[in-house]
Amino acid sequence: MSTEGGTKAIIAALLANTGIAIAKFVAFLITGASSMLAESVHSVADASNQGLLLLGGKRAKRKATPEHPFGFGRERYIYAFIVAIVLFTLGGLFALYEGYHKIQLVLDGESELVSPLVAIIVLVVAIILEGFSLRTAIIESNHVRGSQSWVAFVRHSRSPELPVILLEDIGAEVGLFFALIGVSMSALTGNAIYDGIGTMGIGLLLVIIAVILAIETKSLLLGESARESDLAKIRAAITATDDVESIIHMKTLHLGPEELLVAAKVAVVAEATAADVAAGINAIEQRIREAVPIARVIYLEPDIRKRSEHESTRGGG
């Protein structure tokens, strides 16, 4: 992922959500619509999340230290995981509670919707503004998505920012439609229970998105291997010489979205001298870095394969 592209999408979403949150909260104060309150909190949560992603990106750029010799690239994963928790609690669970509370008040005859037109206008404007934010996220994602489907992009991206922003923006847009339907139905029927139902729909949507984000980010935190396309390039770079008979085994690990560790044991020809092996290893490292620029930490161990061993190349992630 282009870091600049991810930052651009985050800033676009941050600006949109900050302005939308203020407008929604004002509309809630005027109308008393629970869906407007839920959407206000949702936008506040989204804006906070974008701030967290920006903070994570900044902290991930710190230089390696003796205590953290591989750097701080994974901080971006940590902050993305925090985003999922914030979206689940502050966004999803609050909306579910607020929707349930609204329905109870309606059933008890203690709630009504005031000036629903204000809420409808704010929601329509918010849908348009959120659409621009979503459009930015889609454009920036398309720069790195390649031929992957959107589901595959979210599942397999090693950079958390764009998938997080993409899912948040989709959730925000769909949530706004839920709120619009709830407020409109309440205005048409005079029954505010639809507002409560729309609010619960928003909560359920946010909980689902938060769970998806948490699952995907957890996998990144545990450590994921290089993509299959990069693995193929690394294998080709290692074996592109007569001095290497095969790859005995290989492991790769993302130290961050744009930093890859490669460790491999390679079988060299038995007749090679120490100088030949050293020169060969250096050449392999150079080829790997040229083929996969994010492969910044490379450990290669030369060995001599016993003739009785299986001769096929083995690779792994």
pLDDT tens for 268-294 read 888 888 888 899 899 999 999 999 999
What's the domain count of the chain?
A: 2
Examine the fold and report which residue of 222, 239, 256 is the final residue of a domain before the chain moves on.
Answer: 222
Q: The sheet that has 295-303: what strands, in order across it?
A: 244-256, 259-268, 295-303
In a domain, 316, yes or no: no
Residues 138 and 87 in one domain: yes
Query: CA 117, CA 195: separation in Å to the nearest integer?
Result: 13
How high is the pLDDT of residue 30? 87
Matching residue, tokens 């906070």? 48
Residue 162 CA from chain centroid, whole number? 5
Q: Which amino acid is at 290?
A: E
pLDDT at 314 over 50: no
In a domain, 309, yes or no: no
Output the pTM of the full model. Answer: 0.78
pLDDT tens for 97-117 read 888 888 888 888 776 677 888
Domain that includes residue 288, residue range: 228-303
Examine the fold and report which residue of 222, 239, 264 is the final residue of a domain before the chain moves on.
Answer: 222
Q: Grade residue 307 by pLDDT with cuts at 50, 70 and 90.
A: low
- The two structure tokens encoding residue 217: 């980010």
| DSSP codes of every residue in 240-287 | SSTTEEEEEEEEEEEEETTEEEEEEEEEEPTT--HHHHHHHHHHHHHH
Residues 215 and 232 in one domain: no
